[in-house]
Structures are given as structure tokens and as C-alpha cells.
Amino acid sequence: MNMQDIPFGTTDWQDVEKTVHPGESGVAYWRTRNFGGIRVRMVEYSPGYLADHWCVKGHILLCLEGELETELQDGRRFVLKPGTSYQVADNAEPHRSRTNTGAKLFIVD
């Protein structure tokens, strides 16, 4: 990640418009800001959310609320609780998210 030409600024995430992204089940609400080639998101998954695809995008993801299960395509599973994060490179390990209870995440990619 190369961070250049980004002036200092603050974001009040409540002021950023939500977009709706249906999953295989449940829904994700994204609040997104772009800074050059870097996307920063506050994401909320509804209870019962299951992603509708295997993601190959790299992320740094921090769980803020709830509980998130991340499944890798090779079968490994990881549970993230508030204060837990993961990182994965682009095209490294396909992954998808699910949550029974709902979750709120901060994601940089």
C-alpha cells in the first residue's frame, strides 16, 4: 500500500452515505471513502449474513462489534471478536465472511 497525496482529514462515519450489498443471505451496509487508490470502509453485516462470493481482494480488517467468522476456501475458519483483526494480500487466499449475530468492521483495502 502506497499512501501519497492524502492531506490530513477526519471522517465522521455517520455522515457517509450507506450502500446496500446483499449477501447469499443477509445484507451488508457499507460506508465508503476513497483516498487515491485506497478504499476505507465501515461495514455492518446483518445477523445471518453470508457473503455471496469468495473474495480475492486484499484487506486489513478490524472487528469493532459482534462476531465475524472468516472462512478460507481451503476450509480453515477464523472467528473475529471486537478488537481482533486479520490481514490478507490480493489474490493470496480466497475468503468469505459470515455472521450469525451481526458484526461491525473497519476495513482498509
Write down the pLDDT at residue 2. Answer: 74
- How high is the pLDDT of residue 103? 98
The C-alpha cell of 85 is what? 483483526
Global pTM reads 0.92
- Among the CATH numbers 1.10.645.10, 2.30.29.30, 2.60.120.10, 3.40.50.720, which is that of 18-108? 2.60.120.10
CA atoms of 38 and 47, how far apart (whole Å): 28
- Please list, residue by residue across 76-91, b when 16 or more beta carbons sit within 10 angstroms of its beta carbon and e when fewer do: eeeebeeeeeeebeee
Residues of the chain with pLDDT below 70 are: 1
Alpha carbon distance 85, 15 (integer Å): 25
pLDDT the model gives residue 48: 98
Q: What is the pLDDT of residue 34?
A: 95
